[in-house]
Amino acid sequence: MSLRLRGLAVGYRGKPVLTGLDAEARRGELTVLLGPNGTGKSTLLRTLAGLQPALGGTVHLDGTDLTGLPHAERARRMAVVLTDRVSPGQLTVRELVGFGRHPHTGFSGALGGHDHEVVAWAIDAVAATHLAERDVSELSDGELQRVLTARALAQEPGLLLLDEPSAFLDAPSRVALTGLLRRLASERDLAVVVSTHELELALRVADAVWLLDRDGVLHTGPPEQLALDGLISATFDTDELRFDRDAGTFVLRSEATRTCRVLGPDAAVLRRALTRAGWAAAQDGAADAEIRQTGDGYLGLADGTTTALPDVSAVISWVRTRPEPAVRRADPAAVAGVTDSGEGRPLRSLYADHEAIAEAVRLTGQRHGLTAERAALRWQTSLVTRLWSIAVAADGVVPDLDLLHYRLDDDAEVRLSLPEPGGWTAQDVTPLLTRLVAVEHLRPLHAALCEVVPVAEELLWDNVPADLTDRLDVPGPERGDRVGVHVP
Amino acid sequence: MTTTRRALVLGALTAATAVAFAVAVTVGTVAVPLRETVLVLLGLEPDDPRWSVVVETVRLPRAMTAALAGAALGVAGLQMQTLFRNPLADPFSLGVSSGASLGVSLAMVGTGGFAAGLAAGGRLGVVASAAVGGAVVLSGVLALARVVRTPVTLLVIGVMVGSATTALVSLLLTWTDPQRAQQYISWGLGSFSSTTLADLPVFGGVTAAGLAVAMLSAKPLNALLLGESYAKTMGLDVRRARFVTLFSSSLLAGAVTAFCGPIGFLGIAVPHLARRLLGTSDHRVLLPGTLLAGALAALLCSVASQTPGGVVPVNVITSLVGAPVVIAILLRARSLQGVG
């Protein structure tokens, strides 16, 4: 039970526009006719509707050749909604829908009991019962389109053809109308064929697609098949837009030279904003920048620094103003396994927690029988050694040391972890390493220790492991000044 | 609810038409007592046999002609408004009346005289030439309407075609005997009074035939309200419907023009009036409503033309009333695409 085209040729006055069309639209399914402008979609639909003669081939509906049928018989089997704007004057919705009974009524056009029932059903089917007594001229475009569809339904057809029914509608009405057509197809077991420009919507809701490509070839199949075959891209991609097969949507084609990795639940949405701003989305591998979602906003990571971004507009202006980066985001895989992925709190918050530091130093001293000063030095060494081992664990990549989390174990030893693997890569990582280790960690650590234990900052610095200080760009006697540490 | 209202409106129109008919028979340049008029109408012998002559040979044909002509023009106007999907279409505005005039003048020249042409059996020939002349123009305008999409442009084209046709008529007249030309010119002013009792069967017969065809085309006309494409997809044989509509409206407009001269504005204004009163464009109600409203309007115009100062040409009255109606339609219509 279906509409079947075999070798159909359509066109005007003997000039074929499309030839050799083979397709099928099954009952119970929504079939969408897609194609760029000027490929002959309307010509095909008008031919199927019987508004112009076929130039060759056959059109069968449920096994009956439509081309040979008299007007009225044809109108009982199929109904059409056209792009023609109608303004029939003073008519109520019920009267207009009643005109759909035309092929079923007698010479006078008078409606009988059954006709009235069908009209009421058709109005109900498009959810327009509350409009039934309204004058057609008072309807909005969306309402009128629904009413015209009801009129088509009143013909009690097996096939419903609609030519760009959403052309004059606003976005919510388009979605509503498409949903209605889908429902009608399955509930009333109708074959519904719709031509439309609403590509993305059509590809989401259509059971089957008839795709007219630019060479006038008609491809048919489920939308996903056509997408996988690359036919949708081949037909509709432009210089500005390309079809994203996985997302089923069209995306802006950008000449993006910079890449950004987006992580978190909002990633798909944020990627669109990035694409628009001229960035390409990166999945694995190195990237120029990275955006992460946090509990109350986003983090922007670029050029070795991490910036808190409260909302999407902050994200957009942040990516727009990124300079050419000297430091890029590394492939997360290079950092994976460098730390545990244990729970914890941000390490940098520890430096403000003087109580916790004092307790850790006290415990260290107690356990090893050390003075407060020696205990502070020992505790520092243990923390900094762990930090350093993470910092240099991956070759050529500096992990996100500023995003490290910590736990204190029973021995007051600091356990470090990186909740999400990530890091930086650059030609020369030394400046980055210096800043992340010395500025982000050593300086606040020393400041905190000085607060809780009677120890000289100079002494603390001298006790930082040598293999670390050698690698950092912190020379000689003024090193304290260089890293911004206040020397008393 | 609405059905009741429509029945009431149709009933009221019928009653008003009957009253207007009676008034039209009563009013005239010669004062005939009302009682005498009623007696004549009832087929009884009045006190003075002259009343019988006045009423039977002058007023009765005039009132009948007015009623028939009004009904015919109204219905023809409605058919054209629907066919063209143009609220301003009517026999006059689309140049159909001019085409009919050309047919009449050709028949007149051909038969050797207006009076002779209109006399007795020749009447039918004149009606036929008027109808053919009207149909030719209407077909031409219809062909143009398929190219021209805006109603106002089509109207301008109709006026131009009308002017060209009128010019042809004038050309014919300059080559005609001045006396006949004079007859033609007075005919051209429009009148319901030039139809004699003997003419009525022909005029009435042709008009009734045209009206009958029109009344039976309510269903196709309704389908055409949505435009020809929609009508076709609803199972209408559009070519046949178009032909039938063209045929009957040309017949109606042609007959009226042949007997009464070109009458303006009734065809355009009456369908709007009826649509207003009935509140619908459904031709099953609107066609009879337009028929009645047309008869009523023409009778009222006929009565109004019998001024105390003398008989005014009926076109003066229809133009005085009709022109403001057309302007009102133009001002009111947000979009002229429809026929409402």
Give yes or no for residue B298 having a pLDDT over 80. yes
Residue B284: list chain A partners with CB under 8 A: 108-110
Triad B333, B154, B323: Cα angle to 5°:
55
Tell me whether residues B230 and A89 touch, CB distance under 8 A.
no
| CA atoms of A237 and A424, how far apart (whole Å) | 36
Same domain, yes or no, for A351 and A473? yes
Residues of chain A found within 8 Å of residue B335, distances taken between Cβ atoms? 87
> What is the arithmetic mean of pLDDT over A242-248?
80
Q: What is the mean pLDDT of residues A205-215?
A: 92
**SS3 for A87?**
coil
* Residue A305 shares a structural domain with residue A414: no
Task: List the single residue in B with minimal CA-CA distance to A86.
Answer: B226
CB A446 within 8 A of CB A484: no
Q: Give the bridge partners for A309, in sequence order.
A: A298
CB contact (8 A) between residue B282 and residue A49:
no
C-alpha dihedral, A452 to A458 to A459 to A464, nearest 10°: 100
B268 and B326 Cβ atoms separated by less than 8 Å = yes
What is the mean predicted confidence (pLDDT) over A224-242?
86
**Cβ–Cβ < 8 Å for A361, A452:** yes
Residues B230 and A85 sit within 8 Å (Cβ to Cβ): no
A253 within a domain of the structure (yes/no): no
Q: Are residues A129 and A221 in the same domain?
A: yes
CB A360 within 8 A of CB A379: yes
Residues of B in contact with A119 (CB under 8 A): none
Residues of A with CB under 8 A from a CB of B: 49-51, 71-76, 78-80, 82, 84-92, 95-96, 99-100, 102-103, 105, 107-110, 137, 155
pLDDT in tens, A392-421: 888 888 998 888 999 888 888 888 888 888
Same-domain status, A45 and A75: yes
A91·B280 Cβ contact <8 A? yes
pLDDT tier for residue B224 given thresholds of 50, 70 and 90: very high
First to last CA, chain A: 92
CA dist A126 and A149 (Å) reads: 7
Phi, psi torsion values for A292, nearest 5 degrees: -120, 150
Nearest CA in chain A to B277: A90
Measured distance CA(B133)–CA(B104) in Å, rounded: 8
Inter-chain touch B2–A92, beta carbons under 8 Å: yes
Q: Which of B234, B237, B279 sits opposite A100 (nearest CB)?
A: B234
Cα gap A274→A285, rounded to integer Å? 18
The span from the CA of A159 to the CA of A146, in Å, is 17
- Partners of A103 on chain B (C-beta within 8 Å) are 234-235
Can you tell me the distance from the alpha carbon of B137 to that of B143, in angstroms, rounded to the nearest whole number?
10
Size of interface A-B (CB pairs under 8 A): 93
Q: Is residue A243 part of a domain?
A: no
Q: Would residue A294 count as lying in a domain? A: yes
User: Tell me: the pLDDT tens digits for A444-484?
Assistant: 998 898 888 888 888 888 888 877 877 777 654 455 554 54
Asked if residue A447 and residue A427 are part of one domain, the reply reads yes
Residue where one domain finishes, among candidates A329, A348, A369 = A329
Q: What is the ipTM of this complex?
A: 0.84
Give the one of A78, A90, A108 whose C-beta lies nearest to B280's C-beta. A90
User: Both A312 and A349 in a single domain?
Assistant: no
What is the arithmetic mean of pLDDT over B202-220? 93
Residue B283: is its pLDDT beyond 90? Answer: yes
**H or E element in which residue B274 lies:** helix B266-278
In angstroms, the CA B104 to CA B188 distance is: 11
Q: How far is B270 from chain A (nearest CA, A)?
A: 15
Total residue length of chain B: 340
Out of A87, A90, A95, whose CB is closest to B337?
A: A87
Q: Which of A89, A96, A108 sits opposite B275 (nearest CB)?
A: A89
Distance between CA B219 and CA B225 in Å, rounded? 10
Best mutation target, A94, A95, A139, to test chain B (most B CBs within 10 A): A95
Side chain identity, residue A435: R
CA dist A287 and A279 (Å) reads 11
Q: How many CA atoms does the CB half-sphere of A42 hold within 13 Å?
A: 11
Tokens of A221: 């199949």
pLDDT at B120 over 60: no
Return the closest-CA partner of residue A271 out of A301, A255, A247: A247
Q: What is the pLDDT of residue B74?
A: 95
β-pair type (A159-163, A191-195) = parallel
Q: Are residues A71 and A163 in the same domain?
A: yes
Nearest-CB residue to A89 (from B230, B232, B338): B338
Chain B environment of A86 (Cβ under 8 Å): 225-227, 230
What value does the mean pLDDT take over residues A179-184? Answer: 89
**pLDDT score, position B111:** 62
CB contacts of B226 in chain A (<8 Å) are 84, 86, 88, 96, 99
**Out of B2, B225, B233, whose CB is closest to A80?**
B233
Share of chain A above pLDDT 90, in %: 29
DSSP character at residue A487: P
- Domains identified in chain A, total number: 3
Please judge whether A71 and B284 are an interchain contact, meaning their C-beta atoms are less than 8 angstroms apart. no
Domain shared by A360 and A477, yes or no: yes
Are B230 and A71 an interchain contact pair (Cβ–Cβ within 8 Å)? Answer: no
Range of the domain at A93: 2-237
- Of the three residues A329, A353, A373, the one that is the final residue of a domain is A329
Tell me: pLDDT of A147 over 70: yes
Q: Can you give the pLDDT at residue B336?
A: 44
Q: What is the pLDDT of residue A254?
A: 67
Residue A157: closest CA among chain B residues belongs to which residue? B234
CA angle B166, B172, B173 (to 5 degrees): 90
Count of Cβ atoms closer than 10 Å to residue A366 Cβ:
11
Q: Given an 8 Å threshold on Cβ–Cβ distance, is A79 in contact with B233?
A: yes
Q: Of A119, A57, A52, A61, which is closest to residue A92 (Cα–Cα)? A: A119
Show Cβ contacts of residue B264 under 8 Å, excluding neighbours closer than 6 positions: B92, B97, B190, B315, B318, B319, B322
Distance from CA of B77 to the nearest CA of A (A): 15
Ranking A98-107, B211-220, B326-335 by mean pLDDT, the lowest is B326-335
Q: What pLDDT does residue A30 have?
A: 94
Taking all residues of chain A, what is their mean pLDDT, rounded to a whole number? Answer: 86
> Among the three residues A281, A296, A329, which one is the final residue of a domain in this structure?
A329
Which 3-state string (H, E, C) describes A215-277? CCCEEEECHHHHHHCCHHHHHHCCCCEEEECCCCEEEECCCCCEEEEEECCCHHHHHHHHHHC
Can you give the pLDDT at residue B215? 93
Q: With an 8 Å Cβ cutoff, are B233 and A72 in contact?
A: no
Rg (CA), chain A: 35
Q: Say which residue, A479 or A263, is predicted with more confidence.
A: A263
Domain shared by A412 and A269, yes or no: no
Task: Inspect the interface and report whether the beta carbons of B281 and A91 lie closer than 8 Å.
Answer: yes
**A483 three-class SS:** coil
Instruction: Examine the domain organization and report whether A285 and A185 are in the same domain.
Output: no
- Which residues of chain A neighbour B232 with C-beta distances below 8 Å? 50-51, 71
Q: By CA distance, what is A79's nearest residue in B? A: B233
Comparing CB atoms, the residue among A71, A87, A100 nearest residue B338 is: A87
Q: What is the mean pLDDT of chain B?
A: 83
What does the alpha-carbon distance between residue B219 and residue A108 come to, in Å, rounded to a whole number?
Answer: 6
Q: What's the pLDDT at B117?
A: 46
Do the beta carbons of residue A167 and residue A87 sit within 8 Å?
no
Q: Where are the alpha helices (DSSP H) in chain B?
A: 2-26, 34-41, 49-53, 60-84, 96-111, 114-118, 122-145, 151-174, 178-188, 200-215, 218-224, 228-233, 238-260, 266-278, 283-305, 314-332
Q: In the CATH scheme, what is the homologous superfamily, with its name and number, of domain B2-331?
A: ABC transporter involved in vitamin B12 uptake, BtuC (1.10.3470.10)
On whether both A129 and A226 belong to a single domain, the answer is yes
Give pLDDT tens digits for B189-206: 788 888 888 888 889 999
Q: How many other C-beta atoms can be found within 10 angstroms of the C-beta atom of residue A7? A: 12
Q: Which residues pair with A250 in a beta bridge?
A: A243
Q: Locate tokens 């400041």: which residue?
A: A447
Residue appearing with tokens 């000044």: A481
Residue B270 has pLDDT above 90, yes or no: yes
| A-chain residues near B225 (CB < 8 A) | 86, 88-89, 91, 99
Q: Which of A92, A196, A205 is nearest to A144 (CA)?
A: A92
pLDDT (tens digit per residue) in A307-338: 999 999 999 889 888 887 788 888 888 888 77
pTM for the whole structure: 0.74
Ordered strands of the A397-399 beta sheet:
A328-329, A423-425, A397-399
Hunting for tokens 């066609």 — which residue is that?
A: B287
Count the residues in chain A.
Answer: 488
Decide if A99 and B226 are in contact by the 8 Å CB cutoff. Answer: yes
Which residues of chain B does A88 touch, with a Cβ-Cβ cutoff of 8 Å?
Answer: 225-226, 281, 338-340
Per DSSP, the three-state class of B210 is helix
Residue A114 burial by Cβ neighbours in a 10 Å radius (0-12, 13-18, 19+): exposed
d(CA A173, CA A179) in angstroms, rounded, equals 10
Nearest to A109 among B218, B233, B338 (CB): B218
In a domain, A300, yes or no: yes
Mean pLDDT value across residues B142-149: 76
CB-CB: which of B216, B229, B281 is closest to A84? B229
Name chain A contacts of B233, Cβ cutoff 8 Å: 49-51, 75, 78-80, 82
A216 and A90 together in one domain:
yes
List the single residue in B229, B235, B340 with the smallest CB-CB distance to A87.
B340
Residue of A238, A307, A286 whose CA lies nearest to A427: A286
Q: Which residues pair with A65 in a beta bridge?
A: A60
